[in-house]
């Protein structure tokens, strides 16, 4: 049931022509595109075989010459001049093993129903020595689904008003550190003692709103700490280029993670 609502939302609500800018320039994100360009130049990917996971309307398809887009919404194909595929119904990708030299993904992981499957598929279709540029909305706020931060007080009853009142406190750095720091300490200790426990990603499923898109990430179904993602890749035999040590990864906050598949 959830899977059907999930697909219906992206096919019939989110990725509809009215929401796709007619002018690609209006949808550009200079900060992200600068990071992506640096990634492409650093690893010499202009003419390499590159996959974008969660490619949407293909606004980034011209960043490399040998580009392939991948999403869950088939009707997006009309926006592509380059190869485009949809994720299989079982969550696997329609490619063989070790096909791509590089993968990049932007603001997608927090919206994927099966995160572990997505990460494993990325590694499967990536060549040994290949690299991943992983960008996501980390630590999505669970109150985004109901739009507490943007809706007026009059929309809520007593319980809702109390939740809305708590949002500034719960969103403050000191409050979040009280939760994040102990979790990272425990996660790091487990990684040092038994990396095999990281066969599955340590993340939290949250309720997504597939009825009303109140604000950014109200449709997110995962709350993911980038620290957990870094340790997951390390446990799966990968190098994390911009967070090479456990010490540096402990202090990760936002931004992208660069991964290299070593085997």
Q: How many domains is the chain partitioned into structurally?
A: 1
Distance CA 94, CA 70 (A): 9
pLDDT (tens place) for every residue of the chain, 263 residues total: 678 889 889 998 888 887 777 665 556 677 888 999 999 999 999 999 999 999 999 999 999 999 999 999 999 999 999 999 999 989 999 999 999 999 999 999 999 999 999 999 999 999 999 999 999 999 999 999 999 999 999 999 999 999 999 999 999 999 999 999 999 999 999 999 988 888 999 999 999 999 888 998 999 999 999 999 999 999 999 999 999 999 999 999 989 999 999 98
Burial of 7 (0-12, 13-18, 19+ CB in 10 A): middle
pTM equals 0.93
C-alpha angle with apex 58: 56 to 60, nearest 5 degrees? 115
DSSP letters, 84-125, are EEE--TTS--SS-TT-EEEEEEES-GGG-S-HHHHHHHHHHH
Distance CA 23, CA 31 (A): 19
State the pLDDT at residue 32: 86
State the pLDDT at residue 1: 64
State the pLDDT at residue 28: 66
Q: Which two tokens stand for residue 99?
A: 């096909």
Residue 58, phi-psi category: left (phi > 0), alpha (psi -120 to 50), beta (remainder): left
239 beta partners: 260
State the pLDDT at residue 26: 56
- Full residue range of the structural domain in which residue 88 is found: 2-261
For residue 38, the domain's CATH number is 3.40.50.150
């Amino acid at each position: 049931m959830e899977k059907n609502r999930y697909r219906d939302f992206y096919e019939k609500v989110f990725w509809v022509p009215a929401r796709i800018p007619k002018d690609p320039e209006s949808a550009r994100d200079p900060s992200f595109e600068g990071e992506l360009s640096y990634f492409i130049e650093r690893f010499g990917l202009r003419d390499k075989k590159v996959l974008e996971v969660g490619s949407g309307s293909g606004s980034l398809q011209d960043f490399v010459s040998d580009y392939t887009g991948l999403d869950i919404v088939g009707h997006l194909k009309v926006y592509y001049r380059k190869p485009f595929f949809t994720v299989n119904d079982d969550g696997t990708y329609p490619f063989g093993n070790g096909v791509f030299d590089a993968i990049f993904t932007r603001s997608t992981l927090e919206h994927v129903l099966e995160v572990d499957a997505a990460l494993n598929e990325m590694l499967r279709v990536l060549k040994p020595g290949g690299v991943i540029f992983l960008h996501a909305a980390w630590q999505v706020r669970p109150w985004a689904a109901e739009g507490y931060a943007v809706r007026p007080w009059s929309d809520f009853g007593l319980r809702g008003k109390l939740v809305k009142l708590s949002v500034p406190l719960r969103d403050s750095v000191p409050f979040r550190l009280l939760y994040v720091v102990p979790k990272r300490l425990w996660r790091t200790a487990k990684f040092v003692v038994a990396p095999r426990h990281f066969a599955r990603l340590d993340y939290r499923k949250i309720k997504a709103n597939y009825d009303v898109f109140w604000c950014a990430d109200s449709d997110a179904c995962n709350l993911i700490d980038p620290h957990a993602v870094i340790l997951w890749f390390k446990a799966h035999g990968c190098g994390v280029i911009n967070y090479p040590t456990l010490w540096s990864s402990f202090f990760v906050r936002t931004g992208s993670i660069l991964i290299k598949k070593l085997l």
